Amino acid sequence: MPAVTETRETVEKLAKSSYEWGFETDIEMDIAPKGLNEETVRLISERKGEPQWMLDWRLKAFRAWLEMEEPTWAHLHHPPIDYQDAHYFAQPKKKPGPKSLDEVDPELLKTYAKLGIPLHEQALLAGVEGAEERLPVAVDAVFDSVSVATTFRKTLAEAGVIFCPISDAIREYPELVRKYLGTVVPAGDNFFAALNSAVFTDGSFVYIPEGVRCPMELSTYFRINARNTGQFERTLIIAEDRATVSYLEGCTAPQRDENQLHAAVVELIAMEDASIKYSTVQNWYPGDDEGRGGIYNFVTKRGICRGARSKISWTQVETGSAITWKYPSCVLAGEGSVGEFYSVAVTNNHQQADTGTKMIHLAPNTRSTIIAKTISAGHSDSTYRGLVRMQPKARNARNFTQCDSLLIGDQCGAHTVPYIESRNMTARVEHEATTSKISEDQLFYCRSRGLSEEDAVGLIVNGFCREVLKELPMEFAVEAQKLLQISLEGSVG
Amino acid sequence: MSDFLKIQGLQARIDADGTPKDILKGLDLEVPKGEIHAIMGPNGSGKSTLSYVLAGRDDYEVTGGSATFKGQDLLALEPEERAALGLFLAFQSPVELPGVNNANFLRTAVNAVRRARGEAELDAVAFLKAVRAETKHLSMSDDMLKRAVNVGFSGGEKKRNEVLQMRLLQPSFAILDETDSGLDIDALRIVAEGVNSLRSPDFSALVITHHQRLLDYIVPDRVHVMAHGRIIHSGGPDIAKTLEKQGYTQFLEAAA
């Protein structure tokens, strides 16, 4: 789906669905006062009409969070975050933002123009005040997403798939949520996961019953129906025995948000012979050329292959955010289960990324593959950090890791930090790493064939990332390629 | 039109570990429309530098003289603008682009050039048809289109890939920089045929070579002898044969 259509659909849905998130509509109360304390947590839970057990769970997480400290081991630098200087509950409707496009970073607008996004949609993406109200008429005429959404909903329901906002799931499927929530990423797992557990307000819930192959890429439905742009998202995906699902989060169009801190948690659970493919294209606002105003993205993503021969595959294309702290991981508990991690992380200007994965092999004959491509340009800094752990019972387990870094210019940095722990003599772990630069020879060769310098860089970078991009759902791979090129514009010469 | 490619007093140097080194020292050369010229010369005479300077590689600094192509100041153009104008350089050592699919690279290049020339871009089907016709012509396997650009190609395959690009980009002026090096006789014949079939009143070429052998297959209208950054002698195709037998000495002495 081209970026334009997708944006149009997202936009249209947004314009119509400000109240669809389980919020009580109370204009006076659409934003909680700044600050984070038990009262904030209680307010969120109450506003969302949650049962007592959910509130208790949140409060427990909050109390754990109070005892924890922000991790400092990552290769990231940022001013201290004041957790009291933020709103933890706000209706999406009344956001303080730029008054008009004139106040928006012109670089951001240029990017929108390159992606072919019409002006009124640009206003919405950039968070211009009142943009939502001005939208529906223009988009309505073009596309009737309600009917499409209804069709999708019907198809999913017929297959027995549950797919809804997590807030709805807590109310409508409490037994399922209660059974699985926090089982992969416990509330006290780490500082940011604890924070998320206490205050999450958005996110998705997916349940694929036994033997069901989800009849569509959940991205398709998702991008029309939901707005995956919450500050503290919580996503929970469960695939029962022999169930299969492919889920895609994110958007290629750069998105702004007035909330600088983002801390999402994603949990995946795959039962026997089940397969979950989770793809991400992350393109949060990276800040201006100096890195001012960019998003801090601290994410905990983890999946567990509980059943034998189950499979979890993470694919991510990370181009946005000022700071990315993210390690989508797999716990391979089922015999013969498979974990995969395919990643492209691009940093430009003053962006920083510390990202990678953890593959925890608990059971015999488990296999994992890690392909991580890191591209650094400008003054940016990028780190691959990965753990492969072979536990004593992981007989004949295998891992293959390949980390390639591509440097553009001489002001950037790339670091590879592999941790390998093997407690089983029969397990095999392979690690390959390379670092290279785009050479003048390559650029000149392409340009002498008529390609502009930027097209040449795009082509070379996409070639470098090919192994990862081919793992993305087709429609998205094309957009991701375009995105990589745009992210690196102006990085050469 | 005698001023198709016209080079006058061209001087260029390269930064060699901090000290500038003069390589082209006042080179004059004209290649009229529709003619194929050859440049021969010993190692280090500046033949490859000349091809790079004409194609626009920016690690060479032009310190004097001029080069015009179709009446335009060639040296003022970016490499991609020169390509759009009809200039093509077949590299002596074609560059590898890991992960970049060869067919995709070719199509991107063809369409970039077509766009710049105001021609319609080729869609995937039209492009494939065009490329298949050419690969057959050059005895190339389809497999070479699926692989990454020049990665793992043999010397001969790389050169054929260069000729393939040349034929697809339809230049009006091609520079072949030692395209014969690393080719066996069969490959040489195929490559030469690829060039010869482009011969027309609208196509010119500059064939840079060490060996007379290539000129048996691509018969030039004129041969220039290059040494010390200058053209020191020009003449008919016979010069190549003289060079082959007697070496460069007589020309070097005559020029001294």
- The predicted structure's pLDDT at residue A142: 24
**Residue B234 to residues B6, B39, B172, B239, B249: CA-CA distances in angstroms?**
15, 9, 23, 8, 15
- On chain A, the residues whose CB falls within 8 A of the CB of B57 are 444
With an 8 Å Cβ cutoff, are A451 and B97 in contact?
Answer: no
B100 close contact with A: CB closer than 8 A = yes
With an 8 Å Cβ cutoff, are A463 and B56 in contact?
Answer: no
Is the predicted pLDDT of residue B30 greater than 80, yes or no?
yes
Residues 411-470, chain A: which have Cβ within 8 Å of B? Answer: 439-442, 444-453, 455, 459-460, 462-467
What would the pLDDT profile of A354-406 be if each residue is shown by its tens digit? 999 999 999 999 999 999 999 998 888 899 999 999 999 999 999 999 999 99
Residues 106-165, chain B: which have Cβ within 8 Å of A? Answer: 108-110, 112-113, 116, 148-149, 165
- The predicted structure's pLDDT at residue A485: 78
- The predicted structure's pLDDT at residue A7: 42
Q: Is residue B172 within 8 Å of residue B83, measured between CB atoms? A: no
Is the predicted pLDDT of residue A107 greater than 70, yes or no?
no
pLDDT bin (cut points 50, 70, 90) of residue B198 is very high
CATH for B5-95+172-255, among 1.10.287.3510, 3.40.50.300, 3.40.50.720, 3.90.1150.10? 3.40.50.300
State the DSSP H helix or E strand holding residue A167, giving kind and residue range, or none if neither: helix A166-172
What would the pLDDT profile of B156-178 be if each residue is shown by its tens digit? 889 999 999 999 999 999 999 98
- The predicted structure's pLDDT at residue A132: 43
- The predicted structure's pLDDT at residue A156: 87
- The predicted structure's pLDDT at residue B50: 95
More confident residue, A377 or A154: A377
Compute the average pLDDT of residues B175-201: 88
Is the predicted pLDDT of residue B77 greater than 90, yes or no?
yes
Q: Is residue B212 within 8 Å of residue B241, measured between CB atoms? A: yes
Q: What is the pTM of this model?
A: 0.78
| Domain residue spans of chain A | 3-59+87-140, 146-440
Distance of CA A48 to the CA centre of its chain: 23
- On chain A, the residues whose CB falls within 8 A of the CB of B149 are 463
- H-helix segments, chain B: 47-55, 79-85, 102-116, 124-137, 143-146, 155-169, 185-196, 213-217, 238-246, 249-255
Q: Is residue B10 within 8 Å of residue B65, measured between CB atoms? A: yes
Is the predicted pLDDT of residue A91 greater than 80, yes or no?
no
With an 8 Å Cβ cutoff, are A447 and B84 in contact?
Answer: no
Minimum mean pLDDT range among A5-14, A158-167, A196-205: A5-14
Distance CA A393, CA A407 (A): 40
The amino acid present at A45, given as its one-letter code, is S
Q: Is residue A314 within 8 Å of residue A345, measured between CB atoms? A: no
Average pLDDT of every residue of chain B = 91
With an 8 Å Cβ cutoff, are A441 and B99 in contact?
Answer: no
pLDDT bin (cut points 50, 70, 90) of residue A350 is confident
Is the predicted pLDDT of residue A108 greater than 90, yes or no?
no
Is the predicted pLDDT of residue A140 greater than 90, yes or no?
no
Q: What percent of chain B has pLDDT over 70?
A: 98
- Asked whether the CA dihedral B130, B136, B140, B146 is positive or negative, the reply is positive
Residue of chain A with shortest Cα separation from B79: A448
- The predicted structure's pLDDT at residue B162: 94
Specify whether the backbone of A8 is left (phi greater than 0), alpha (psi in -120 to 50) or beta. Answer: alpha
- The predicted structure's pLDDT at residue B40: 93
- Asked whether the CA dihedral B203, B204, B210, B213 is positive or negative, the reply is positive
- On chain B, the residues whose CB falls within 8 A of the CB of A448 are 55-56, 79-80, 82-83, 88-89, 91
B255 close contact with A: CB closer than 8 A = no
CA dihedral A471, A473, A478, A482 (to 10 degrees): -70
Which of A135-144, B132-141, B246-255 is most confident? B132-141
What would the pLDDT profile of A276-318 be if each residue is shown by its tens digit? 999 988 888 777 777 677 888 899 999 999 999 999 999 999 8
A51–chain B nearest CA distance, Å: 52
Distance CA B111, CA B129 (A): 14
What would the pLDDT profile of A204-240 be if each residue is shown by its tens digit? 899 999 999 998 888 644 443 334 445 788 999 999 9
State the DSSP H helix or E strand holding residue A127, giving kind and residue range, or none if neither: none
Distance CA A417, CA A239 (A): 32
Residue of chain A with shortest Cα separation from B175: A448
Mutation target vs B (from A436, A440, A447, A482; most B CBs, 10 A cutoff): A447
- The predicted structure's pLDDT at residue A201: 83
- The predicted structure's pLDDT at residue A444: 95
B186 close contact with A: CB closer than 8 A = no
Measure CB to CB from residue A463 to each of B57, B109, B148 and give the nearest one.
B148
